């Protein structure tokens, strides 16, 4: 076996999953798939559920590197907290650094960076307690979408078509910790673009059977359609991939991830958000996009893990 394919290069790998965020169940599901894939390739991988368990393993020097598949914030693995902990222990981890994960978790700061760079993202208003939300909605122009700034999996999100529904949408989003934002609703088609190393994977067009890509469509429904590559026109497809990669690197992200994009009927692309530890379930999108260019699930996991070796002697 060449050194390159030798799974012993990785040492003992903690597959970090579960945790306490609203996306715990999804993460456990992703984590089990990753664990099975790495073990199938002979990697010495162990499951670790949540940050306290990770910490005790680190204190016992139990791991050489971490495959992070914790989703979400606050004890999740997508907001810089786990990345900072691992950096302090000098343990390599898959995916983005402290900066990239923290910025990508925060939809408001992500948009601010994109806007500063002239990248397209829907116009928005940050909502603070006591703000006149009706005036904010009128200024953006209905319809709008209201969302918590730091959640995932479409939780706490509502679309608002009439002003009378606004209070209810704000109340729902405010059930989640952190700031809220209201964004112009883009009417058109929904896309997502996986990123692997320095390139964008083929885009996927998501066609939910219901009205939009809500929690049910993401994880439970079997009637959501996925079209990959998402755009028939190769110039438009290349443009979407280039935009996604630019948006990803602009936030300081690296390794792998997924960029969510809306495309309006006039053919304009609008950046929604970046996910730095996207799902790896059977419904998940990065594995589908990788498959479309011949990268199977086990190889995808191996490639993501392999990037943690950069800078180490082989």
Which residues are known catalytic residues?
23, 153, 219, 258, 260, 273, 275, 279
- Determine if 145 is a binding residue for ligand ADP (CB under 6 A): yes
Q: For residue 10, say if its preceding peptide bond is cis, omega within 30 degrees of 0.
A: no
Would you call 167 helix, strand, or coil by DSSP? Answer: helix
- Determine if 260 is a binding residue for ligand ADP (CB under 6 A): yes
Which residue of 68, 153, 203, 308 would you call a contact of ligand ADP, by CB under 6 A? 153
- Determine if 183 is a binding residue for ligand ADP (CB under 6 A): yes
- Judged by CB under 6 A, the chain residues 65 through 124 that form the site for ligand ADP are 122
- Determine if 224 is a binding residue for ligand ADP (CB under 6 A): no
Kindly state the smallest distance separating residue 150's Cβ from ligand ADP, in Å: 9
Q: Is 223 left (phi over 0), alpha (psi -120 to 50) or beta?
A: alpha
- Bridge partner list, 259: 193, 274
Q: From the list ligand ADP, Mg ion, none, which binds 125 (C-beta under 5 to 8 Å, kind-based)?
A: none
- Determine if 78 is a binding residue for Mg ion (CB under 5 A): no
H/E segment holding residue 238: helix 234-250
CB 207 within 8 A of CB 227: yes
Is 136 or 285 the residue whose CB approaches Mg ion more closely?
Answer: 285
Which residue of 34, 91, 273, 285 would you call a contact of ligand ADP, by CB under 6 A? 273
CB 192 within 8 A of CB 206: yes
Contacts with ligand ADP, 190-209, as mask; x by CB under 6 A: x-------------------
- Judged by CB under 5 A, the chain residues 249 through 278 that form the site for Mg ion are 260
Q: For residue 179, say if its preceding peptide bond is cis, omega within 30 degrees of 0.
A: no
Question: What's the distance, Cα to Cα, between the start and end of the chain in Å?
Answer: 14
Q: Nearest-CA neighbor of 282 among 229, 218, 188, 237?
A: 218
Q: Which residue is nearest to Mg ion (CB)?
A: 260
Residues of the shown chain interacting with Mg ion in the complex, contacts defined by CB under 5 A: 260
């Amino acid at each position: 076996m060449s050194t390159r394919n030798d799974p012993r290069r990785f040492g003992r790998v903690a597959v970090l999953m579960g945790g306490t965020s609203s996306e715990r169940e999804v993460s456990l599901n992703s984590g089990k798939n990753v664990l099975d894939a790495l073990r199938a390739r002979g990697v010495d991988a162990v499951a670790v559920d949540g940050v306290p368990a990770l910490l005790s393993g680190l204190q016992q020097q139990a791991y050489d590197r971490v495959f992070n598949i914790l989703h979400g914030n606050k004890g999740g693995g997508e907001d810089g907290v786990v990345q900072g902990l691992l950096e302090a222990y000098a343990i390599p981890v898959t995916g983005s650094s402290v900066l990239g994960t923290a910025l990508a978790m925060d939809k408001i700061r992500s948009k601010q960076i994109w806007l500063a760079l002239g990248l397209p993202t829907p116009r928005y208003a940050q909502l603070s307690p006591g703000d006149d939300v009706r005036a904010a909605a009128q200024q953006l122009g209905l319809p709008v979408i209201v969302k918590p700034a730091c959640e995932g999996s479409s939780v706490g999100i509502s679309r608002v078509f009439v002003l009378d529904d606004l209070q209810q949408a704000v109340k729902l989003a405010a059930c989640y910790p952190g700031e809220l934002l209201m964004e112009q609703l883009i009417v058109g088609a929904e896309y997502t673009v996986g990123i692997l190393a320095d390139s964008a994977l083929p885009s996927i067009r998501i066609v939910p059977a219901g009205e939009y890509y809500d929690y049910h469509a993401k994880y439970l429904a079997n009637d959501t359609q996925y079209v990959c590559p998402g755009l028939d026109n190769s110039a438009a497809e290349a443009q979407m991939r280039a935009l996604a990669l630019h948006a990803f690197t602009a936030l300081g992200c690296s390794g792998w991830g997924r960029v969510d994009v809306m495309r309006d009927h006039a053919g304009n692309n609008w950046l929604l958000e970046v996910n730095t530890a996207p799902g790896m379930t059977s419904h998940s999108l990065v594995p589908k996009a990788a498959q479309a260019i011949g990268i199977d699930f086990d190889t995808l996991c191996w490639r993501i893990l392999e990037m943690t070796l950069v800078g180490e002697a082989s």
